[in-house]
Amino acid sequence: MKRFIIIVTCIVVAVVIFDSLYFRLGWYIDFDKSTPVTTFVKADSKKIYLDSGKGYEEFEIRGVNMGSGEPGQWATDFHIDYDTYLRWFRMIQEMGANTIRIYTIQSDVFYNAFYDYNSGNDNPLYLIQGVWVNDYIQNSHRSAYDPEFYEAFLSNCKTMVDVIHGKKKISLGRMADAGSGVYLKDISQWVIGYILGVEWEDVTVSYTDRMYEDIEAYSSYEGRYLYTAPEATPFESMLALVGDKVLEYESERYHQQRLFAFANWPTTDPFTYPENVSEFFMKCAYVDVEHVKSTDKVIAGQFATYHVYPYYPDYLSYFSDWSSLGIANVDDFVSEDGVLNTYRAYLTMLTNHHSLPVVISEFGVSTGRGMAQRDQNTGRNQGNMSESEQGLAIVDCWEDIKASGCVGGCVFSWQDEWFKRTWNTMYAVNLRRTPYWSDYQTNEQYFGLLSFDPGTEKSVCYVDGDVSEWGEEDVVLQEPSMMLSMKYDEKFIYFYIKQENFDFSEDKLYIPIDVTPKTGSNYCDNYGLKFDRAVDFLLVIDGKENSRLMVQERYESLRANFSEFVYGRNTYYAENIPDANSPLFVNIDMILQMNILLMMGQKTEAETYETGKLTYGNANPSSDNFNSLADFCVSGDDIEVKLPWQLLNFADPSNMEIHDDYYDGNYGVEYIRIDSIYVGAAADVSSSRILLEKVPLKGWKNRVTYHERLKDSYYVLQSLWKEGE
C-alpha cells in the first residue's frame, strides 16, 4: 500500500510538472525537426491569398473589431458568455464580414465559441489576433528595451501563439489586459494573421530612438526570420527582434506560419510633414515597417496595418502642397461637388509608400451625441452622427480604402462599450463608474454596429410622439392647462409635457431644472423668467431649430475646466468667478480642439460647438423615420424630451453623483450625491414665479439593464458587403 501511494504521488507530481512546463511555461521539444513549416495564407507585395483547398485565392479582409466589454462590466472582466459569442459570430457573418479582429487574448470562452462556430462550417469566419501592450508600461519612463516592456511584449506574443494552437493555460491575473482560462481548442486553421502591439505612444518611440541612436547593437537586428534595413531605428529593431522570435517559436513548435504585422497609426506614421504641422500635432516619432525585412524562411508574409479615421489626425487639411508625400496632384482627390477627400489621399499615401499589402485595421465613426473631432472635409465626424449617417460614413470610408489599393479593413467596432472614455468628457465623469451607465455625451462609447439600449426588452420611453408609455405615476406637476411628467433610465432623463392648444410654430415652453443645492439662480435674465428656487438648467422648447438646454453660468462645466483655452482667461481669478446667483444662463458647449492651426502657423482659441442644442425628430428605433440623435418630438399638445445625464452635469447617475460647485474651493470637478431634483414648467413669461416640484431620484448602483439592438449602420454595411459577394 505504501509503494502504491508513492507511485501515485510520483505520477501526480509528474503530471503537475508536465502541465506547468508545457501548458503554462511553454516548454517543448521538437522531436521531428524535418517536419515542414506550412501556411494557408500568403501575401505578396500588394495582395493577400488564402488556400481554400483548391489553391491560393485572393482574399479581401472585410473585418470587424470586437472588444470584450458589455454593460455593467469592464473590458478586463472578459465577461461575455459562450452563447453571446455564438450569436454575435452569426450576426457578423450575416452582415457580410469574413474576419474578426481582437486586440488581446480573450477568455477561453471566446476561443471555445469560435472553434465550435467554425467547426463543420464551409464558410468560416477568420481571425486576426492582436497582442496588447499595457498602457501603464507605454506611458511610463521605460524605453522599448526595458525588460518590463520588451520581455513582457515578447512573452505575451508567445503566449498568444500557444493560445490559438490550443496549448495554453493562463491563471487569472497572470497577464495584464488579457483573459484567462484553459485554452485547449486549436483555432489556428482560421487565424490568418497577428497584429503585434498597439497604437504606439509617440513619446515612447521617440525616447527609445533617442536613447539608443548611437548604439549600433540597438540600431540593427539580424535574425533567422527577420532583419532590419540600414535605415532602421532602435524602436523598429525592437519590433524586428520580437517578430523574429515569434516566427521562430511558431515555426519550430507548431510548424506553421501565418501573416504578421506591427500595429501603427498616423501619430507614428513614416511620413515627414511641414514644420508647422509637425509642431501643431507634436509629430515627433516615426515607425516604418518597410525597415523590417524578411528572410527566405518567412513563407507566409507580412502586411502593413494602420488605424486610420477620417477625422484624426487630418494632417493634410493644414497644407496644400502634398508633393513631398508622393501626391503630385491634389485635384485627384476632389469630388465632383468640390469636396476634398483627405482621407482617401492619406490612404493612397500609405499604399504608395509600402511594398507590403496595407490593411486599415481600424476605421469608423461614432453615433454618440457628443463629438470630439470634426472632419472639416467630408463630414465624417468623431461623434454627433446618427446611426444611418454612421452607416453611410463607413461605406464612404470603405470605398476610399478600396480605391486607395488597400487589401481590406476592419470596422471599429462590433459593439458599443459603456466603459469607454473620451478626452473631452473624461474630466466630467467618475471614471471608476463608467460601465454602469450609458453616457451619450462620450462618443467613444458608441462606435459599435450593435447598440446596448437600457431596459431588459425595451427602454422605458421613446421620444416619438406616442405617449402611451407615460402613466399617472410619472406625473410631476398638474396645472389646469399643463402637465409635466418625468422618468429616467441608464441613459436619459425623459420629460413629457402636455400643453393645451400648443402651437409649435409660435409658442415656447420653459422647463427649469434644479439639480444641486450649491448653485443656481431664481431669475433668468435671458428670458425674463422667475423661479421659486435657485435653478441650474433651463430647457427651452422654441421650434425645431432653436430649442436647447442652457446652464446657469456658474455651473457651466466648460468654463470651469477649459476657460483659458476657450475664453483666454483663468476663470478662477477672483474677478472672473461668476456670482453664485448670476441670472445669466449660457449655451452648453463642448470643446473639440485646444487650439486651431492656421495656414500662417498661428494658433487661436479652442474650437467648440453647442452640444446643448436639441435635435428634433423621432427617436424610436422601430420608426421608419428614426433619427438616433433626436432629442425631442412634438405631436399636437404632446411634447417629449430626452436629455443625456452628463448634459445635466451628472458624473455618475448610477449613484446619483453630480458636479459640486466648481468655485467652492474645488478648482475643478468634485462630486456630491443627491436624492432628488426639482423641475417646473411654464408656457409664457409672466410676473409670477415658476413653481418647481421635487422629484425623487434613486440610483441603480451596479445593476444595469440593457438589451441588444442592431443599428441602422449594420444594415447599411450589410447591403454593401452582401452585394459584393
pLDDT, one tens digit per residue, over 41-95 is 999 999 999 997 778 999 999 999 999 999 999 999 999 999 999 999 999 999 9
Chain-centroid distance of CA 436 in Å reads 17
Q: What is the pLDDT of residue 51?
A: 94
- For residues 564 and 562, give the distance between their C-alpha atoms in angstroms, rounded to a whole number: 6
pLDDT tens-digit series, residues 373-390 = 999 889 999 999 999 999
Q: Both 415 and 487 in a single domain?
A: no
Task: Check whether 594 has a pLDDT greater than 80.
Answer: no
The three-class DSSP label of residue 649 is coil
Shared domain for 650 and 629, answered yes or no, is yes
Confidence tier at 600 by pLDDT (50, 70, 90): very low
Is 26's pLDDT higher than 90?
no
CB 365 within 8 A of CB 394: yes
Report the candidate in 528, 336, 403, 410 with the shortest Cα–Cα distance to residue 67.
410
What is the residue-averaged pLDDT of the chain? 93
Q: Which three cell numbers stand for residue 698?
A: 434613486
Q: Is there a contact between 500 and 675 (Cβ–Cβ < 8 Å)?
A: no
Question: 601 pLDDT exceeds 60?
Answer: no
Q: Is 292 within a domain? A: yes
Same domain assignment for residues 202 and 329: yes
Q: Is residue 71 part of a domain?
A: yes
Instruction: Kindly state whether residues 390 and 468 are assigned to the same domain.
Output: no
Residues 311, 374 contacting (CB under 8 angstroms): yes
Same domain flag for 524 and 427: no
Q: Are residues 408 and 548 in the same domain?
A: no
Facing residues of 521 across strands?
535
Cell of 480: 389646469
* CA gap 143, 137 in Å, rounded: 9
436 with 523, same domain: the answer is no
Span 460-478, average pLDDT: 97
3-state SS assignment for residue 31: coil
- Give the span between the Cα atoms of 385 and 370, in whole angstroms: 9
pLDDT band per the 50, 70, 90 thresholds, residue 280: confident
**236 within 8 A of 220, measured Cβ to Cβ:** no
Burial class (CB in 10 A: 0-12, 13-18, 19+), 245: middle
> 1: which 3 cell numbers?
500500500
Question: For 193-210, how does the pLDDT look when each residue is reduced to its tens digit (9 = 90+)?
Answer: 999 999 999 999 999 999
Q: Can you name the residues that pair with 708 across neighbouring β-strands? A: 452
**First-to-last C-alpha distance (Å) of the chain:** 68
User: Is residue 26 in some structural domain?
Assistant: no
- Whose cell is 446652464? That residue is 551
Average pLDDT of the residues in 500-511: 95
At residue 587, the 3 state secondary structure works out as: strand
**Confidence label for 361 from pLDDT (cuts 50, 70 and 90):** very high
Residue 14 lies in a domain: no
CATH number at residue 199: 3.20.20.80
| CA 180/CA 259 separation, integer angstroms | 25
**Residue 9 has what pLDDT?**
66
Phi, psi of 98 (to 5 degrees): -120, 0
- Whether residue 231 is predicted with pLDDT greater than 50 in this model: the reply is yes
Residue type for position 335: S
The DSSP annotation for 352-407 comes to HH-SS-EEEEEE-----SSEEE--TTT---EE---HHHHHHHHHHHHHHHHHTT--
Q: Which of 585, 583, 478 is nearest to 538 (CA)?
A: 585
Pairing of strands 706-710, 450-454: antiparallel
> Is 47 contained in some domain?
no
DSSP bridge partners of 411: 64, 363
Element at 129 (helix H, strand E): strand 126-131
Query: What does the pLDDT average to over 154-176?
Result: 93
Is 598 a residue whose pLDDT tops 70?
Answer: no
CA–CA distance, 401 with 397 (Å, rounded to integer): 6
C-alpha cell at 261: 504585422
**Could you give the C-alpha distances from 361 to 79, 309, 355, 356, 419, in angstroms and in order?**
24, 10, 18, 14, 22
Report the number of distinct structural domains present in the chain: 2
336-352, pLDDT tens digit by residue? 889 999 999 999 999 99
Distances (CA, A) of 459 to 349, 444, 462, 676: 46, 22, 7, 22
> Are 226 and 240 contacting, i.e. CB atoms less than 8 angstroms apart?
yes
In this structure, the answer to whether residues 346 and 466 fall within a common structural domain is: no
Which has the closest alpha carbon to 522: 662, 695, 688, 694?
688
Read off the pLDDT of each residue in 125-129 and give the average, rounded to a whole number.
98
Q: Dmax over Cα atoms in the chain, in whole Å? A: 100
Q: In this predicted structure, what is the pLDDT of residue 18?
A: 56
Q: How confident is the model at residue 215 (pLDDT cuts 50, 70, 90)?
A: confident
Together in a domain, 301 and 425: yes
Joined grid coordinates for residue 148:
518590463
pLDDT at residue 252, as a whole number: 96
At residue 645, φ and ψ (nearest 5 deg) are -55, -45
Same domain, 82 and 119: yes
Could you give the 3-state DSSP secondary structure of residue 285?
Answer: coil
Instruction: Determine, yes or no, domain membership for 562.
Output: no
CA distances from 575 to 519, 571, 583, 666 (A): 18, 8, 17, 17
Q: What angle do CA 281, 282, 288 make, to 5 degrees?
A: 95
Predicted local distance difference test score (pLDDT) of residue 596: 64
Nine cell digits for residue 432: 471608476
Phi, psi of 551 (to 5 degrees): -130, 145
Average pLDDT over residues 393-397: 98
Residue with cell string 439592438: 709
In a domain, 32, yes or no: no
The verdict on 424 and 470 lying in the same domain is: no
Amino acid identity for residue 410 in this structure = C
Written as one letter, the residue type at 697 is L
Q: Report the distance separating Cα 674 and Cα 655, nearest Å.
A: 9
Q: What's the pLDDT at 462?
A: 97
Alpha-carbon distance of 203 to 572, in angstroms, equals 32
pLDDT of residue 560: 95
Residue 364 has which C-alpha cell? Answer: 469608423
Average pLDDT over residues 534-543: 98
What confidence category does residue 597 fall into, taking pLDDT thresholds of 50, 70 and 90?
low
Confidence of residue 279 (pLDDT cuts 50, 70, 90): confident
Which residue range(s) make up the domain with 322?
60-449+718-723
Q: Do 249 and 139 belong together in one domain?
A: yes
Mean pLDDT of 551-570: 94
> Residue 21's pLDDT band (boundaries 50, 70, 90)?
low
Mean pLDDT over residues 94-98, rounded? 98
Question: 604: pLDDT confidence band, cut at 50, 70 and 90?
Answer: low
Identify any residues that bridge with 85 across adjacent strands, giving them in sequence order: none
Confidence of residue 599 (pLDDT cuts 50, 70, 90): very low
pLDDT reading at 725 higher than 70: no
Q: What local confidence, expressed as pLDDT, does residue 603 receive?
A: 60
Closest CA to 192 of 129, 246, 132: 129
Between CA 592 and CA 383 the distance in angstroms is 11
Q: pLDDT for 607-648, tens place per residue? A: 999 999 999 999 999 999 999 999 999 999 999 999 999 999
DSSP three-state, residue 602: coil
pLDDT cut 70: percent of the chain above it: 94
Percent of the chain with pLDDT over 90: 84
What is the 3-class SS of 502-547, one letter each residue? Answer: CCCCCCCEEEEEECCCCCCEEEECCCCEEEEEEECEEEEECCCCCC
Q: Give 305's strand partners.
A: 359
Strands 657-659 vs 671-673: parallel, antiparallel or unpaired: antiparallel
Residue 594 forms part of a structural domain: no
Q: How many CA atoms lie within 13 A of 529 on its CB side?
A: 30
